[in-house]
Structure 1
């Protein structure tokens, strides 16, 4: 039986500052690194045959900490297909200030509509067009062989994978919250996903917003 462990990266500096990050390459915070280590601790029961990540340092850094915690050195492949969704002109902007400027409804549409693109950015549907084919071509065959695979990526590059594995609607997918450093575990028989669960890691920060902007983040804006 193949096993997929999918993990969103730990808290990044722009998660902490409540900024749109997208393709901007920002590092983990100290808390993000320590949470990645906690994530590694709960994964001690797994021996990974392969690991995949994006090309962005918040994901690669999280993967590095998890594997270091486990003392494992599986082959690692990084690919831009697993990068976060591009937020285009919104990248670098504070989310709360963007709401003040454009209104909550418009910002929520940019962030949580499956098909709507932010200015010069990607929609979730656009992200799915690169992420899911990459998964099918490169990761699913390993799972069909009975391998145990770790994927560390981003909320909007993992959503399309979860969508297709769990047969979710676009609307449910758009509203799906994937917590930071929270392992999603999927078991496979051949290429068919047969069971799944979420491991909740005690003590980690699952949302990235700073305290003053927490209401904005919890409102899924």
Structure 2
């Protein structure tokens, strides 16, 4: 059995993560903490485990790009090929975009907001032209090549998988088969979508899977079967990992 490690990494804290806002396709920067964590947690952990990369995949959003630049520079991998695609964008949070998660929980109830956040196929309300973030998202030049019929106004994990899984199968797995050391630096929902696909996790159980910012997670893939051997491994000290998982699962303050 020949194994190849594949690393998944959620970007560092963004300015809207810091403010506890639904972000989705709105293109925000990393916070100062996010920049620091990309260096002192993400890159430092990868260095500790002697992980370097031949190729990287990321979204079209700058919080992912900023994290990737910091990590690759620290690992002295800045010259590797980088594939950026909207198909690895975070899920579109529809009309929740820009709204505070705690305030929405107070308005609609925690159960409803958690269904919007973590369920497999219940979408948030659709974003229409009255939303202040509609035009900035629709007119983002990074998204100019998205077919009109594929441009979302809200998404579920299920609909995200319709754009992520084909890209995983057609573009990313071929690099793994070629024994490339692959880094996928993207977003929480994107990594959850790939994890659900490769592990065959049920629609119900996937709601319990959380991906914290900045902590690398690793799979060992069997080249002959292109199946992971064992579960995903988070590269973090256990108490810190559990604290970050709780934080990610929470609606926040």
Same fold (TM over 0.5): yes
**Residues 162-177 of structure 1: pairs in structure 2 closer than 5 A:** 162-177=195-210
Match of 1:130 in 2: 163
In the alignment, structure 1 segments of 5+ residues that lack a partner are 209-213
Q: Do the aligned partners of 1:47 and 1:148 also contact (CA within 8 Å) in 2?
A: yes
Cα separation, 2, equivalents of 1:188 and 1:174: 24
Cα separation, 2, equivalents of 1:102 and 1:162: 29
Equivalent of 1:2 in 1, 4, 11 = 4
Give the Å deviation of 1:207: 6.8
Cα separation, 2, equivalents of 1:16 and 1:181: 14
Match of 2:111 in 1: 105
TM-score in terms of structure 2 length: 0.79
Cα separation, 1, equivalents of 2:251 and 2:98: 20
Match of 1:218 in 2: 250
Cα separation, 2, equivalents of 1:113 and 1:220: 18
Runs of 4+ in 1 over 6 A off after TM superposition: 201-205
- SS of residue in 1 equivalent to 2:211: coil
RMSD across aligned C-alpha pairs, in angstroms? Answer: 2.3
Is 1:12–2:14 an aligned residue pair? yes
- SS of residue in 1 equivalent to 2:204: helix
Match of 1:71 in 2: 76
- SS of residue in 1 equivalent to 2:162: helix
**CA-to-aligned-CA distance 1:34-62 (integer Å, 9 cap, x gap):** 11112112112122110000001111111
- SS of residue in 2 equivalent to 1:43: helix
TM-score in terms of structure 1 length: 0.90
- SS of residue in 2 equivalent to 1:150: strand
Equivalent of 1:41 in 44, 57, 62 = 44
Equivalent of 1:199 in 209, 228, 235 = 235
Equivalences, count: 215
Give the Å deviation of 1:144: 1.4
Q: Do the aligned partners of 1:3 and 1:147 also contact (CA within 8 Å) in 2?
A: no
Give the Å deviation of 1:206: 3.9
Give the Å deviation of 1:185: 0.6
Cα separation, 1, equivalents of 2:182 and 2:118: 29
- Which structure would you say has the larger Rg? 2
Is 1:114–2:108 an aligned residue pair? no
